[in-house]
Structure formats: C-alpha cells, structure tokens
Structure 1
Amino acid sequence: MTSTASRPLPRLIATDLDGTLLCPGGGVSPRTAAALTAAERAGVQVVFVTGRPPRWMEQVSAHIGGHGVAICSNGGAVVDVRRGELLRTYPLAAADALKVVGLLRAELPGSAFAFEFPGGFAREAEYQLRMWGSDEPHAVASAELLLADEQVQGLFKLLVKHPELDPDAFLGKAREVAGRYVEITRSSPFALLEISALGVTKASTLADWCHAQGIDRSEVVAFGDMPNDLEMLAWAGSAYAVANAHPEVLAAVAQHTVSNEHDGVAAVLERLLGLEPLSS
C-alpha cells in the first residue's frame, strides 16, 4: 500500500473498544496492535474512548498510548490506566440520579439500577451481573438507599437494566421519560442503559482532552459502533463506523470500514499511515 503523502496525518485517533477496536473475544489482534504502535511512532496520539468503567481497563493496558490515559464510562471519567489513577470525573448529581431512578422505576417497572463511582461499584440485588468483577466486593441495596447514604458519592455513571424490553425500545422510552435531566445511551446487546450527567458524553470529554493538548477537532479521526459513540463520531473531523455497527450508527456516519472481527480500525490506520496490512 502506498503512502498518502498528500493527506496530512491526523493528530489524534479516538477509538471505542468493545465492538470496534477489540476482537469479538475482547482481545487486541496482532494486526491492530501493530497499527496502534505504528500510529504512536508516527506521532499520532491514540486515545481509547469507551463505555467501560476504569476498573475494566487493565485488560487493555498494554495497548494504551504513551500518555497512558483513557476516557471511560462514556466520558464520565478520565483515568491514567498504568498508574490506576482517576485524573478527572464528571459527576452526576445525587439529586438528579434520584429523580431519574424514580421516573424510570415508575414508568418502566422491572428496571434495576447500579452505580459506577470513584470508590468502585454498587447495585441493587435485582441488577444481575454478567461481566467482569462480579466477585469483587461491592455494596448491594436499593438505589434510593445507596444514594441517600452517600454510598455512591461522586458517581459518574448510572446503569439501568430491564429483564424483558427490547434494548432500543428501552432507550427510546427512557429518553422520553428522563432525557431532559441526564444523558441516556446504550452500548450492550441486551437492555442496559448507561446514564451520565447532562452534557457529559464521549464527545464532550474528548473535546476537553483535545483542547488541553492543543488539538483541533478537524485533526481527530474517530471510530465507533454503538449509540454511545454517536456524539463522538459527529464531533470528530473524520469518523468511521465498523461494518458490525448498530444500524443507527451506520446511517449516521458516511465512512465505513470492515468489522471489528476483520480489524476495521487497523485497516483505516494502515491506509492513513501508508502501511502494508499485517495478516490478522
């Protein structure tokens, strides 16, 4: 593949992880790892921008850029992954969280709640765990009690599960009921909502990071696959949806790449950097 010398390199690559950069099994393929390394060597900063909480980032720490920083929880937290240190959070006020819990509990019976906060994770008993960390100690109580007792102080992400509803229908109804108070999105294949403070998205926190680095949005290339990526993909100067993306994302983003299973992010980086593709 020849170099695209006439096109200046982006200064920053912002990529989602699950369903975008990572293989279906959750790892980083050799081809993608090589492309990330080549981007860093070319002076292109790579920032992981994910819905994952900070406590799930150790699994990808080997591939974090030289700066060591990731934007987590849909923009709710900025973490130095290598040092295990929260650099900044964008908290959801307890009063707003309590209002949203009440609205969703009333309008969408069966909803169960959990919280990501600087001290860890807490949940209601009805909120069933499917992912990593289920064996880690955490508080279990009603959402109202957890908020009233300040057990989730500084929370930056409220999670809501429903056992029966279609994921997109769940998102649409929740936004209708409580969207004026908070940001509500989703990234999971099941009915799980991710809620942040009003105005806090992947895009808003990435914009803050870029501003601090003196990077203009026109110098950013972003990658994503799910509704929680939409604001970031719209904000970046150039954006790509992977082929396996949610239909809404595929419709909203003009540029597409192959699926995460086929190293879609790496394919674009190779083209931008003028690299020969490495077999997966």
Structure 2
Amino acid sequence: MRLVASDIDGTILGHDGKISDRTIRAFHACREAGVELVFVTGRPPRWLHPLQDQLGHAGTVICSNGAVVWDLEADKVVSARTLALDAVLEARRIIKALRPSALFAAETLTGFHLEPGFIEIESSEILTEFKPAPLADTLTAEDGVVKFLAIVRDGTADEFLAEVAPAVAHLAASTHSAPTVALLELSLPGVNKAVTLAEYAASLGIGAADVVAFGDMPNDIEMLRWAGDGYAMASGHPEAIRAAGQQAPHFDDDGVAQILEAKLAALGVRLP
C-alpha cells in the first residue's frame, strides 16, 4: 500500500458534512506511515473545504470525475480536460429530445452555470451566488466545461443513464453519483476517475498494484477496477460493489477506516 485514493461523498463524508474521527485518525496514520493520499471526487474544486477543514489535507485532489486535477495548497488548477461548447449544446439537444423535462447545468473552471428550475429550492445558497439562465446564453466558447449535468424529476438515475448514455456517447462520457436523484454527470469522452488517478499515480512512480481505492457509486467503477485493491462501500450502489469485487464495511461503520486500520496493522503501524 503506497497510495490511498478515496472518493468523498458517501465514502468518507456523510449527509451531515462530517468525516468521522476514526476515519480522520486512519488517514493521518497513513500519512505518518509515508502512504500517499489523494482524494478522487465528482465534486468541483469549490466544494473541497471538508478536506481542508476536517482532514487538514493540502495536497492534490482529482475533481469533477477526473476532469480536473486541483492543488489545494496553491488553490489552483494543475490540469483540466474540458468539453467544447458545441458538444455541450448538442448533448443538451439530444437529451432534451429524449426527455423533454430534463434541465441542465455546467461546471466550468471559473464557475457554475445553471438553467432555471435545475435547483428546486429557491433559498439555495447556489441560487444566491449563480443566476439561473439558459446555458446557450451564458456559456461561451472560452468557458472550459469540466462537467455537464442533466436532471429529471421522475425515474431513477440508473434508468436515465441507460436511456441517455448511448445517445451521447460520441459527445460525452456519462455517469452518476447522486443516490436519490436522477442526475447525470457528463464529461469529455475517455475521462473518468481511473484515467486521471492512473496518471497521478504514475507521476509518483506508483503502479496500480500498490493503490488502495475506495468508492460507493457508478462514477467510482473504473477507479475501483483499476486499483490493485479496490473497495466498494457495503452501503454503496450495487454496480460499484460488483465492479470492485471487494467490500469495505458500511459507511455508518467507518468502513474506510476499518480497512485502512487492518492494512496499517499488517505494515506494523499501530493507531493511537
């Protein structure tokens, strides 16, 4: 175990926005033992504060499902893979034809663009920061779209993905990570967590066999398959569990911490 790569939401971070003390201790013990840490998330860079505030992490974070590599300490982008404006608008047209009720948003390197109705709660902090408007009116060719989002209010994310993914595969790679919302996340074809994690690990001279990865949702599948030790949370999506072949205990039982404690113990490291 030379590198630990962990998803954030549903893997180490709960709905209350907290990382458990046990999980924090396990990550600190990994760092003290010389094990590299990298977090691999669907979140955009603007939502990484739990890593800084609770873990004191100041290193690299792979964001937006692999589309962005972010330096937390310097607070700047290291690299990014972006969707062109014409691909975004064409994907929007195709999805809208399939599901007329769909609404859309786009994460860029400089902000968040969302259509009216994309977020239902009018008091949402996002709506006070970003003004809803049609994407065709607010996005420009200079905007680097790192994640294109599509949401419907009926059905499941799995059903929505099955309908949409084949139709837009030539334009974007599709996945999802929201457990209770039919929200799809689209990025540049060929981009996923595994691709960017493999590149990051290689930059450290670390191969897949020495990587332990944790995740819980379909956007983690490629990463869990790539890592030498990929663990899906027992509380995770069935497809992620099947892909990983190994399970960490349930999120509520500090599953990531339990696996890391066992691996550290095998290396002769005792946690306080």
Give the Å deviation of 1:115: 0.8
Structure 1 residue 260 corresponds to structure 2 residue 251: yes
User: 1:151-190 counterparts in 2 under 5 A?
Assistant: 153-188=143-178, 189-190=180-181
Alpha-carbon deviation of 1:137?
2.4
| TM-score, structure 2 as length reference | 0.92
Q: 2:261 aligns with which of 270, 276, 279?
A: 270
Q: In structure 2, what residue type is equivalent to 1:15?
A: S
Q: 1:20 aligns with which of 8, 11, 21?
A: 11
* Paired AA for residue 269 in structure 1: L
Counterpart of 2:143 in 1: which secondary structure? coil
**1:205-247 residue CA offsets vs partner (Å, 9 max, x unmatched):** 1111112111111111111100000010011111111110101
- Give the 3-state SS of the residue equivalent to 1:40 in structure 2: helix
Q: How far apart, in 2, do the equivalents of 1:64 and 1:218 lie?
A: 26
- For residue 67 of structure 1, report the CA deviation from its aligned partner: 5.4
Per the alignment, residue 138 of structure 2 pairs with 146
Gaps of 5+ in 2: none
Deviation at 1:162, TM superposition (A): 0.6
Q: Which has the higher contact order (CA 8 A, sep 6+)?
A: 1
Indicate if the aligned counterparts of 1:183 and 1:196 stay in contact, CA closer than 8 A. Answer: yes
CA distance in structure 2 between the partners assigned to 1:22 and 1:132 by the alignment: 21
1:48 matched to 2:39: yes
Structure 1 gap segments, 5+ residues each: 1-9
Equivalent of 1:60 in 42, 51, 57: 51
TM-score, length basis structure 1? 0.89
How many residues align structurally?
267
Superposition CA RMSD, Å: 2.0
Which residue in the other structure is 2:126 paired with?
134
Match in the other structure for 1:71: 62
Letter of the structure 1 residue corresponding to residue 34 of structure 2: G
Match among 89, 112, 116 for residue 125 of structure 1: 116
SS of 2:11's equivalent in the other structure is helix
Q: Which residue of 2 aligns with 1:208?
A: 199
Partner Cα separation in structure 2 for residue 95 and residue 27 of structure 1:
39
Asked if 2 retains the 8 angstrom alpha-carbon contact of 1:51 and 1:72, the reply is yes
Contact 1:124/1:140 (<8 A) preserved: yes
* Residues 198, 65 of structure 1: alpha-carbon distance in 2 compared, 3 angstrom cutoff: farther
Q: Following the alignment from structure 2 to structure 1, what is the Cα–Cα distance between the partners of residues 241 and 249?
A: 12
Q: Point out the more displaced range, 77-86 or 63-72.
A: 63-72
Q: State the one-letter code of the partner of 2:175.
A: T
SS of alignment partner, residue 239 of structure 1:
strand
Tell me if the contact between 1:48 and 1:64 (Cα under 8 Å) persists in the aligned partners: no
